[in-house]
Amino acid sequence: MSHPGDLSIAGFNYVLPEDRIATRPLGERDASRLLLYNKGVISESAFKQIGQFLPEGALLVFNNSRVIQSRLSFKKAGGSTIEIFILEPCVEYGDITTAMKTTGSIRCICLVGGAKKWKQGKLELVLTGDGEPFVMTAEMIIRRAEDFVIELKWQPETDFATALELFGNTPIPPYLQRPADETDRQRYQTIYAKENGSVAAPTAGLHFTPAVMQTLEAKNIASAYTTLHVGAGTFKPVKAEKISGHEMHAEYITIDFSFIDKLIAYEKIIPVGTTSMRTIESLYWMGVKAWINPAATAAEIEIHQWDVYDEKLQQPVSKEMALGSLQRWMQERNMPQLIVKTQIMIAPPYQPKIVTGLVTNFHQPQSTLLLLIAALTGDDWKKMYDYALANGFRFLSYGDSSYISW
């Protein structure tokens, strides 16, 4: 496999007018439009009809990560506002799912809006109601070049996810250019969200409704759930001229042993969203690593940015062989569940090893998400996006959907 590092990001640009960015969700989730791409042929339908276009007997894979209320607005005594945006818990808490269950206090890596106004001391938020007031304090522990380590404490003691539900606001993307409201608290969350930890929604899943799920079940389309906690790095633009100069964000994935069973059992596997696709494809390459070196440590199993283009991993390993090797690796370590980081970069000329289609939204110019689409469609991504722009499709997180097959 050739290396994508020499690709110029300028080749993955397009003009996105501001009025084509969907700043608010539609009244009904499944009222969005659906662009269909199949081997170069483009057509369209309504998302609520997606079951008509998915192959019978396929496995649809959803990311059940739940968006946490990760924006905290503190008022200083003088009236100025300090906004803390939680990126992730510090490394000592282990994986994000575990960190969300921490009670009483936690240290997190954060961005701080208005940091120049915060020289020293603690910030405090107080929520009053009929019962005992809830209090949260924030203390700056380390000030770094690009982010901060902040210690948060709250009373009465509850887990961190619950505390954020009380004090925090929805972290809608910055390109929406508006404050979050109560509608976002519900709509910037999939109907199947379960595991707390994302600071950005797996937006391809926002279109699904109970009615759509029922139509899929009627067509014998199975569902499986994985967890990849989406970090703020998903919005990080590629600023380097060459892809090799961009550092891909790393994210935690959590999968059960039985989830791998499903990937082995099904021939047609369609992830809902780029996060689900990155999870599935990462599992293949973890399996290749386990096949090459059954004694690999957990750290050695992780997928780093350019691993999948390493000549050493280009082995004649089928999906079944790779996933079987990963399962044996887990069994030998008594792991019913795998929690591991992936930094996989999917860009041309990457060829999917497991997935056979993708449900996804329309992505920002010069983004790693658009690079992933180009890996599936080649230069036809331009045809897709030109069609969507010319025919009134809505773009980005609250925008319309597409189903890509090959």
Overall average pLDDT of the 287-299 stretch? 97
Query: Which tens digits make up the pLDDT trace of 250-268?
Result: 888 999 999 999 999 999 9
pLDDT at 232 over 80: no
Return mean pLDDT, the chain.
94
Q: What is the pLDDT of residue 376?
A: 98
Q: What is the pLDDT of residue 66?
A: 96
Q: Which residue in 388, 378, 63 sits closest to 208, CA to CA?
A: 63
Residue 343 — pLDDT band, cuts 50, 70, 90?
A: very high
Which amino acid, residue 271? P
- Percent of the chain at pLDDT exceeding 70: 99
Residue 117 — pLDDT band, cuts 50, 70, 90?
A: confident
pLDDT at 233 over 80: no
Residues in CB range of 242: below 8 A, 6 or more apart: 5, 6, 7, 8, 9
Alpha-carbon 352 to chain mean position: 18
Give the Cα separation of 46 and 31 in Å (integer).
7
Alpha-carbon 145 to chain mean position: 25
Q: What is the pLDDT of residue 278?
A: 97
Residue 78 — pLDDT band, cuts 50, 70, 90?
A: confident
pLDDT at 364 over 90: yes
| Domain spans in the chain, listed from the N-terminal domain onward | 4-66+192-405, 70-168
Residue 131 — pLDDT band, cuts 50, 70, 90?
A: low
Q: Which residue in 118, 119, 104 sits closest to 74, CA to CA?
A: 118
Residue 373 — pLDDT band, cuts 50, 70, 90?
A: very high
Which tokens sit at 121? Answer: 């001391």
Residues belonging to the chain: 406
Q: What is the pLDDT of residue 1?
A: 64
Helix (H, G, I), strand (E, B) or coil at 347: coil
Virtual CA dihedral for 324, 330, 334, 338, nearest 10 degrees? -130
Element (DSSP H or E) covering residue 389: helix 380-390
Overall average pLDDT of the 297-316 stretch? 96
Query: Which tens digits make up the pLDDT trace of 176-193?
Result: 999 999 999 999 999 999
Q: What is the pLDDT of residue 151?
A: 95
Model's pTM, two decimal places?
0.94
- May I ask the CATH architecture of the domain 4-66+192-405? 3-Layer(aba) Sandwich (3.40)
Q: What is the pLDDT of residue 23?
A: 97
Element (DSSP H or E) covering residue 361: strand 357-361
Lowest mean pLDDT among 160-174, 233-247, 263-277: 233-247
Q: What is the pLDDT of residue 129?
A: 60
